[in-house]
Amino acid sequence: MDTNLPLSFTPAVGDLPFTARQRSLLSLAHELGRTRFAPRAAQWDETATFPFANYDDLRDAGLLRLCVPEAHGGLGADYATYMMVAAEIGRFCGATALTWNMHISSTMWTGVLADGIAMTDAERTEHARRSALHFGRVVNHGAIYAQPFSEGSAAAAGRAPFGTTAKKVDGGWRINGRKIFASLAGAAHYYGVLCTEDKGDEHPDARDTLYISVPATAPGFSISGDWDPLGMRGTVSRNLHFQDVFVSDDEQLMPRGIYFKGAQTWPAMFFTLSPTYLGLANAAYDFTVRYLRGEINEATGAPVQPGERSVKRRMFPTKQIAVAQMRIQLESMRALFTRAIAEARPNPSKDERMRLYAAHFSVMEGANDIARLAIRTCGGQSMMKHLPLERLYRDSRCGSLMLPWTAELVLDRMGRETLYEAGERDD
Ligand SMILES: Cc1cc2nc3c(=O)[nH]c(=O)nc-3n(C[C@H](O)[C@H](O)[C@H](O)COP(=O)(O)OP(=O)(O)OC[C@H]3O[C@@H](n4cnc5c(N)ncnc54)[C@H](O)[C@@H]3O)c2cc1C
């Protein structure tokens, strides 16, 4: 592939001055998405099953190791590049992009993000050795990682210690507890669990959060519960149980205490859930334009062929206005998103942090706004199950529910952090 050629499509993040590497990765994601993921998307949604075939394609294309450092055999993509590529995948299959985010984050947090977190020399050395093992699993064995944090309590909201505990034992850790909403349940080879170190003093403390990988084959680990949700059905986010699960010391994905520091140092780590939804917003917009132009056969969902009868709806001023509104919202989402990924870094300024929250909120709520307008303006036949719009509408509703930055909690943080400087109180 000639990486100097201009792109033949406008990426989900918009047209930016991409590097040659970014153009090449975006082209790869776009092609995979268009030819493989989009045709399969309805299948995972209908059956609420995991997109294994898409993961085989991601693995073959090298995209499971996108954020593994080059020195460890990965593609060494930085934060911004990952976010652009993820949006492109989200355009074609939301469930694939969202679960891929859980996997990629497991390599990005331990890779490029960990590089920006303060550690002692001893911690840095320990982390380098253990992360090499973990990168090796992805690079050499195509391993898939999940990121189960949620417990149904205030913990995933960042407001309480995790109830899942890890107790130090000879040679490793003994883990007990339960996680809910674990995307990739049953598909992942390793589950990167956040848990609280049980120091035996009955005083769990969020500063003692550990980030530990549990192999799917570990005795005492089990998966339970049904999965029949509104949207993002292919994520298969079921419950996990840990009953005296022993894992060796080397399963620690970060040294003790470093996750807590990382969450404070790198707020952009939580923004990685949003590109999936920027992709979905693009998909709803793209569909609307093609549908109103009469390029999609509403009976079959197939592209209208030359000579085939086609219903155009583009001549109605109300539909033109709706498309304009959708484009305005999409452009503002893209503008905030691309600014936020360009300035993502450890210890951002207050303005950068506010922009990050604003970008996250705009994408998560905006994606569903665009999907809602898309259905309203395309009309009754457009919401049938053989067309993608109703799936995009359901999938796009799910972004705002994701902790720690639900739409509500972002508003909460922005309001509070605008009106109060760190440490300020009213009493
Ligand atoms: C499709 C999908 C995939 C997911 N995949 C994963 C995954 O892979 N890994 C993972 O860890 N999680 C995942 N989640 C879970 C997600 O991040 C949330 O944890 C989950 O949606 C929260 O559900 P809940 O009913 O417990 O939420 P809520 O009840 O909204 O929140 C839980 C708790 O957080 C606190 N809280 C929430 N809102 C507020 C507020 N406004 N003010 C103050 N406190 C508040 C409260 O203590 C509340 O009890 C996924 C969710 C979805 C929809």
Q: Is 3's pLDDT higher than 70?
A: no
pLDDT digits (tens, 9 = 90+) for 75-93: 999 999 999 999 999 999 9
Q: Cis before residue 215, ω within 30 degrees of 0?
A: no
Instruction: Give the Å distance between the CA of 50 and the centre of ligand 1.
Output: 21
Mark residue 229 as left, alpha or beta (left: phi above 0; alpha: psi -120 to 50; beta: remaining). Answer: beta
Model confidence, pTM:
0.97
Largest CA distance in the chain: 76
Q: Is 394's pLDDT higher than 90?
A: yes
pLDDT digits (tens, 9 = 90+) for 5-61: 689 999 999 999 999 999 999 999 999 999 999 999 999 999 999 999 999 999 999
pLDDT for the residue numbered 369: 98
Q: Could you write out the DSSP letters of every residue in 118-164?
A: ---HHHHHHHHHHHHHHHHHHHHH---EE-----SSSTTTTSS--SS
pLDDT digits (tens, 9 = 90+) for 396-415: 999 999 999 999 999 999 99
Class of domain 20-144 (CATH, top level): mainly alpha
Q: Is 129's pLDDT higher than 60?
A: yes
Domain locations along the chain:
20-144, 146-256, 266-419
Reference 218, options 240, 198, 195, 196; nearest CA is 240
Residue 317 has phi, psi (to 5 degrees) of -55, -35
SS3 375: helix
Q: Is 1's pLDDT higher than 70?
A: no
Radius of gyration over every alpha carbon of the chain, rounded to an integer in angstroms: 22
Q: Is 209's pLDDT higher than 80?
A: yes
Say if CB 296 and CB 290 are below 8 A apart.
yes
Homologous superfamily in CATH for domain 266-419: Butyryl-CoA Dehydrogenase, subunit A, domain 3 (1.20.140.10)
Ligand 1 site, CB within 6 A: 102, 147-150, 152, 154, 156-157, 181-183, 232, 235, 237, 398, 401-403, 406, 408-409, 412
Instruction: Give the Å distance between the CA of 400 and the centre of ligand 1.
Output: 9
Task: Determine the atom of ligand 1 nearest the C-alpha atom of 409.
Answer: 41
Q: Please, what is the average pLDDT of the chain?
A: 96
pLDDT for the residue numbered 427: 82
Q: Enter the tokens of residue 43.
A: 């299948």
In a mutational test of the pocket of ligand 1, which residue from 214, 402, 416 has the highest number of ligand atoms less than 8 Å from its CB?
402
pLDDT digits (tens, 9 = 90+) for 244-291: 999 999 999 999 999 999 999 999 999 999 999 999 999 999 999 999
Fold type of domain 146-256 = Butyryl-CoA Dehydrogenase, subunit A; domain 2 (2.40.110)
pLDDT for the residue numbered 11: 98
pLDDT for the residue numbered 4: 61
Q: Do domains 20-144 and 266-419 have the same CATH topology?
A: no
pLDDT digits (tens, 9 = 90+) for 335-346: 999 999 999 999
Q: What percent of the chain has pLDDT over 70?
A: 99
pLDDT for the residue numbered 105: 97
Q: Could you write out the DSSP letters of every residue in 281-330?
A: HHHHHHHHHHHHTT-B-TTT-SBPPTTS-----TT-HHHHHHHHHHHHHH
Reference 394, options 35, 146, 41; nearest CA is 41
Give the residue-averaged pLDDT of 296-307.
90
Instruction: Give the Å distance between the CA of 155 and the centre of ligand 1.
Output: 9
The one-letter amino acid code at 292 reads L
| Paired sense of beta strands 190-197 and 165-169, if any | parallel
Other Cβ atoms less than 10 A from the Cβ of 206: the count is 16
Ligand 1: which residue has its CA nearest to atom 14? Answer: 181
Other Cβ atoms less than 10 A from the Cβ of 363: the count is 28
> Using 50, 70 and 90 to split pLDDT, how confident is the model at 182?
very high
